[in-house]
Amino acid sequence: MKFLHYNNSQSRFWTDNAFKWCVRFSGILVILIFIALILTLIYRASPLFYSPQVRLSEHFSLPDSQKFLAVGSSGFTPIISYAHDPIQPDLCYLSAWDVHDLSVPISSYPLKCDAGIKVVEYNATLVAFYIDEQMLKALTLSAGEFVPTNSFSRRLPQHPTLDLLPKSTLVKRLNLLNDSLLIDTSAGIWRSSMSQVTPFEPLTEVRYLPDSGYSVLDLGQTNQLVFSQGTDLLISSMTNTPFVYPMAGELIALQPSYQPNVFFAQIVEPVSAGEPKLLSLVRFSVNHTAYSGLTLDAVVVKSIPYVAERQTRLLVGENDIHNILNVITETTNDIVFTMLNSVTLETLTVLTLPPSEYFPELIKFNRDGFIVGDGARISRYAFSQLASAITYAELFLPQTYIGYSEPAEHWQTNPSLDYQDRKYNVMPLLIGSAKVSLLALLVAIPLALGCAIYVGYFAPIMVQKIIKPFIEIVEAIPSVAIGLIAAVWLAPLAESFLLSFIMFVCLFPLVLIVAHGCFLLSTKLGIEHIFVSAELALQTLLIIGLVWICFIGLSAPMGAFFVDVQAQVMPFNKSTLVVGIAMGIAISPTIFSLAEDALSGVSRSMVKAAAALGATRLQTLTYIVLPAAAPGIIAAIMIGLGRAFGETMIVLMVTGNTPIANWDIFAGVRALSANLVIELPEANQTNSHLTVLFITALLLFVFTFCLNSIAELIKHQQSKVMRGSE
């Protein structure tokens, strides 16, 4: 009576109700956390679905009707302007403006207007060059003040034609390329060193380009110069025989690049009669190889109709932390800004700018935007969503990267120089994950299914009670422990006995066929009882004998041959094969457990009915048990594949983590999961690297989620069929 009274009491009702709501709340909380994680992953990878934006950030005008003669900016340094003072016609002001406050200059320095001005950046220092008499003098911006600097001062080259040029025009032809200070004029090109006070030395045989800011480029690392001679483009160290590249059109301008051994050229292409000429912006990359020597690769970045009367021009700016090219084109009708992906040259965004008679002398690019000086007004355009510069073609299709002659799939997110193009092709990672997972299945399926069939169908009850819990305990071994064993013990062992292992795998089925033939022969001779009574012992001896022959018996007389074949045909060093073996062993318990459950779930009545009809155990297994358990076995294999695809520690510890886009099982490999562990802690959040990593994480999640979902659906369908059959 007391028990019934307790069950029907009000306190029991409230206890059960509270417990029900706690369980329900816990389930809902788990689902919400799972949804939040998925949405976070999608949000961090969402820049792939958008494009970068550019907008007019702010603009201001100079007081007292002053006009800009030059503007400049570099990275996050102050904006430098050179403006004319109408009250004092001979006086100009060199001013520095705070990038966050363009209303009042933070510093000014008076100069004669005919001195001209050219602002460059050298070793993170802004240097303003101007001409006073026959001296090239310099100012540096230090602590918000312009300070004269003698270390950058030079005496101008002595040549009669230089005296005829205005100083403002001469100083505009001054360029700083790497450590070389260059002055290019129609009288020739002179070069001096920035790090040492050296006089200007003449460079001969250079064609003057009047429409270009540069007539000669210094490639820096290779200590070679690029210049034009007649209709040819020459690359020379001025001491060796120059490399001659015949031009297909007329070269009218050269522009340097952030990247070493790369430069841009504006070329007027020849066209057929009656068709308008095209002005093309071409990116050249100088390659040095031991086989072909020096080569020059050309890629057309952008082309526009060329009108000589309007002096059609292009201006290119590069982003040193994103794979972005910014191109401004001036045609007869308008001025257009175009942002391109520097790898695929796909158009990302386009903006039409107001017309300006001062283009392109008064425009400067920086990392987060560009500045345009138009008369008495300066305007700043800001970039946003630059991580959206990533495109599908860049991620999944082969691309011709600078320094490579053929399209290829490369993953290199941290190049040797910060301003080189980063290679974000994820195909090496996808191929690596797929290659490792498929190899793991090749190892795991025979082991796991063979053991599951034996335990679930052939083994006695006592053997089942011993083997199944033991294998399920093996499943609980951490993958990091398996990775450690594989790296320390399995890799050297496999390197020593690789050919012996391959020989064992190839001979094992042949030995089983021969053994089965001997059993059939014994039945005809009437001595099959010998094989039946000692079946397990004979099989064990047969396998041990085969192992001895492959690993010991043949290794001594054929050891030198094995070493030569392995060194020449199968180079073995941190290869995918060891990872596949180790991961196959790691996922075998999972596949075994699920496959054994599927085999055990087959109705015993079906097995008894087959036996009653006279079917042997092998026939019952082949025609009754395996077809009925096939959905569960397939689900087990798919779950094992999903675990192998998402496995991290084994791949991380055993392989050399080399992102190679090929299916060679003896080459290095890097998987998606291992790549996240390697690069995510040190990913640069200012560029696109972190976004690409989240995209790879989303790909990994989608693949494993789909595999596991399909496997669960198959298992659910099988359970419904089994319940219906019973």
Phi, psi (rounded to 5 degrees) for 551 = -100, -20
207 vs 425, higher pLDDT: 425
Residues 535 and 596 in one domain: no
Evaluate whether residue 206 is within a structural domain: no
User: C-alpha angle with apex 320: 425 to 50, nearest 5 degrees?
Assistant: 55
Evaluate whether residue 303 is within a structural domain: no
Residues 488 and 635 in one domain: yes
Taking alpha carbons only, the member of 164, 169, 199 closest to residue 184 is 169
Is residue 713 scored above 70 in pLDDT? yes
What residues have CB less than 8 Å from 180, skipping those under 6 apart?
Answer: 191, 192, 193, 194, 218
Give dist(CA 641, CA 635) in Å, integer. Answer: 10
pLDDT tens across 651-703, in order? 888 877 888 888 888 778 888 988 998 888 888 777 888 899 999 999 999 99
Q: What is the DSSP letter of 7?
A: H
pLDDT band at 521 (very low <50, low <70, confident <90, very high): confident
Evaluate whether residue 198 is within a structural domain: no
Residues 578 and 706 in one domain: yes
Q: What is the mean pLDDT of the chain?
A: 80
Evaluate whether residue 409 is within a structural domain: no
CA distances from 247 to 231, 267, 270, 287 (A): 6, 8, 11, 18
Give dist(CA 697, CA 426) in Å, integer. Answer: 11
User: For the chain, what is the domain count?
Assistant: 3
Evaluate whether residue 174 is within a structural domain: no
Mean pLDDT within 218-246:
73
Helix axes 10-45, 689-725, angle to 10 degrees: 130
Question: Which range (309-313, 366-370, 594-598, 632-636) has the least confidence?
Answer: 309-313
Mean pLDDT within 240-253:
81
How far does Cα 252 stand from its chain's mean position? 36
Residues 585 and 693 in one domain: yes
Evaluate whether residue 36 is within a structural domain: no
Supply the pLDDT for residue 7: 55
Residues 493 and 509 in one domain: no
22 token code pair: 């706690």
Residues 455 and 330 in one domain: no
Residues 534 and 441 in one domain: no
pLDDT tens across 482-501, in order? 888 877 777 777 666 666 77
Taking alpha carbons only, the member of 175, 256, 255 closest to residue 212 is 255
pLDDT tens across 525-557, in order? 777 666 666 666 777 777 788 777 776 766 666
Residues in a beta bridge with 515: none
Is residue 75 scored above 60 in pLDDT? no
Taking alpha carbons only, the member of 230, 213, 415 closest to residue 315 is 213
Evaluate whether residue 24 is within a structural domain: no
Residues in a beta bridge with 234: 227, 244
Residues 353 and 451 in one domain: no
Is residue 4 scored above 60 in pLDDT? no
Q: Which of 387, 412, 442 is the last residue of a domain?
A: 387
104 vs 693, higher pLDDT: 693
Residues 598 and 634 in one domain: yes
Residues in a beta bridge with 298: 284
CB-based contact 257:301 (threshold 8 Å): no
pLDDT band at 620 (very low <50, low <70, confident <90, very high): confident
Supply the pLDDT for residue 726: 47
Give dist(CA 341, CA 326) in Å, integer. Answer: 9
Question: Which range (62-71, 458-467, 623-632) has the least confidence?
Answer: 62-71
Supply the pLDDT for residue 696: 92
CB-based contact 202:190 (threshold 8 Å): yes
Mean pLDDT within 259-265:
85
Q: What percent of the chain has pLDDT over 70?
A: 83
Supply the pLDDT for residue 252: 85
Give dist(CA 667, CA 59) in Å, integer. Answer: 56
Q: Which of 554, 575, 597 is the last residue of a domain?
A: 554
CB-based contact 89:111 (threshold 8 Å): no
Residues 77 and 146 in one domain: yes
What residues have CB less than 8 Å from 644, skipping those under 6 apart?
Answer: 436, 437, 440, 441, 444, 583, 584, 586, 587
Question: Which range (100-104, 154-158, 366-370, 617-621) has the least confidence?
Answer: 100-104
Q: Where are the beta strands (DSSP E) in 292-362?
A: 293-305, 313-319, 324-330, 335-341, 347-353
For residues 130-160, b (16+ Cβ closer than 10 Å) or e, as one string? bbeeeebbbbbbeeeebeeeeebebebbeee
pLDDT band at 143 (very low <50, low <70, confident <90, very high): confident
Residues 147 and 61 in one domain: yes
Residues in a beta bridge with 412: 423
pLDDT tens across 560-598, in order? 555 555 555 555 555 777 888 888 888 999 999 888 888
Supply the pLDDT for residue 1: 47
Question: Which range (55-64, 88-97, 531-540) has the least confidence?
Answer: 531-540
Mean pLDDT within 240-259:
82
Evaluate whether residue 107 is within a structural domain: yes
Give just the sign of the alpha carbon dihedral 627, 628, 631, 636. negative
User: C-alpha angle with apex 297: 74 to 121, nearest 5 degrees?
Assistant: 15
Supply the pLDDT for residue 547: 78
Supply the pLDDT for residue 540: 74
What residues have CB less than 8 Å from 328, skipping those under 6 apart?
Answer: 314, 315, 316, 317, 335, 336, 337, 338, 353, 359, 360, 363, 370
Supply the pLDDT for residue 491: 72
83 vs 302, higher pLDDT: 302
pLDDT tens across 313-350, in order? 788 888 888 899 999 888 777 888 999 999 999 999 99
DSSP states along 233-300: EEEE-SSSPPEEEE-SSEEEEEEE-SSTTEEEEEEEE---TTSPPEEEEEEEEEEEETTTEEEEEEEE
Q: Identify the domain containing residue 627 by its residue range.
A: 427-497+567-725
Residues 455 and 512 in one domain: no
Supply the pLDDT for residue 654: 82
What residues have CB less than 8 Å from 87, skipping those under 6 apart?
Answer: 64
494 token code pair: 């496999």
Is residue 101 scored above 50 in pLDDT? yes
